[in-house]
Amino acid sequence: MPIFALVLLFFSASMHALWNFLLKNAEEKYIAMGWQVILSGIFSLGFIFFTGLPPKEMWLFAVISMILEAIYFILLCSAYSDHDFSLVYPIARGAAPALLVLWSAIFLREQLTAGGYLGIAMITGGIIVIGATTLLQNKSEKPHLRGILTALSVALVISIYTFIDGTAVKNGPVLPYGLSMFVMVPFVTTPYLTRKYGWGHFADMWKKKHGYLLLGGLLGLVAYMLALFAYTFAPLSYSGAIREVSAVIGAFLGWRLLKEEMGGMRVVGSVIVFAGVMVIAVFG
C-alpha cells in the first residue's frame, strides 16, 4: 500500500469525522446534511469553471454515482428519522469495506495479499466493536429489524458508489469527475428534503448556523476528493477500508470534546482498527 495513499486517506477520514462531529451538534441533522450537499455542490460548481468537465466516457459513471449518493443520503435521513441511526450505522461502515473487497475482486481483478485480507478483516471487526458499545450503552433500546436492514442497505450503496468512483478515476481525471458528481447530487436530494420538511427549516438553520454549514460543505467536498485521488493509484479494497478510520476518529472526538463515554470496548476497537491499517501498510 503506497504511503502517500495512506496519508491522503487519513486526511480524508479526519475531515469526514470532523464533519460528522459537527453534525452531532445539529438539532435537525437531516437539514444540516442537506445543506452540506447543497454547499458542496456550489463550491464544486465554482471550481469546475477552472477544471472543465470530465471526458464524455466518464459521464455515465458520474450519473450512476450521483444517483447512488442521493440514495445513500436518503437512507441516512431515514435512519435518523427512525431514531436508531446511532445503533445501526456502525454496521453500515463495517460491512461496506467487506462488500467493496468482493466487487473489486470480481470486476477489477484486484488480488490482495493474505496480510491485506487480514488487515481489512481487522478494520471491519474493529469498527463493529466500536459500534457495539452504543448497543451496550442503550440496553433499553433494541435495534429494530428495519433499522438493521437500513444499515445493510447503506453498506451496500457505499460499497457500490465507492467501486464506481474508484473505477472511474483510475481511467480518467479526478477533479472534473468528482466536482461534476458533487454538482449533480443536490438536484436530487434538495427536492426530497424540501418537500418533506419545507424551506422554512432550511432558512432557520442557515440563519443560526451558516458558519459551520459552510465549513461542513467544504469539509465534505475536500474529504471525498482526497479519497478519489488515493483511489487512482492504490488498491480500491484497501483504500475503502482505511477510509473507515473516520469512525475511530469520530469516537475520539466525541470522547474528548463532547464528553461521551470511551469505554474499554471502544479503546479495544480503535486499537484493532489501527492495527489493521498497519497490517495493510506493511503487508498489503
| pLDDT for the residue numbered 209 | 84
**45-75 per-position pLDDT tens digit:** 999 999 999 999 999 999 999 999 989 888 8
Q: What is the secondary structure of 218-284 as a DSSP string?
A: HHHHHHHHHHHHHHTTS-HHHHHHHGGGHHHHHHHHHHHHS-----HHHHHHHHHHHHHHHHHHHH-
pLDDT average per 10 residues of sequence, the chain (284 residues): 90 86 72 90 95 94 93 75 58 81 89 88 82 60 65 88 95 96 93 86 87 90 96 92 80 69 72 85 76
CA 122 to chain centroid, in Å, comes to 19
| pLDDT for the residue numbered 82 | 57
| Phi, psi (deg, nearest 5) at residue 235 | -55, 135
Q: Are 35 and 213 in contact (CB under 8 A)?
A: yes
| pLDDT for the residue numbered 162 | 94
Report the domain count for the chain. 1
Beta-carbon contacts of residue 112 (< 8 Å; ≥ 6 apart):
101, 105, 120, 235, 237, 238, 284
User: In which domain, by residue range, is 167 found?
Assistant: 3-283
Instruction: Determine the angle formed by the axes of helices 3-24 and 246-257, rounding to 10 degrees.
Output: 40
Question: Residue 217 and residue 63: Cα distance in Å, rounded?
Answer: 21
| pLDDT for the residue numbered 58 | 95
Grid cell in block for residue 21: 462531529
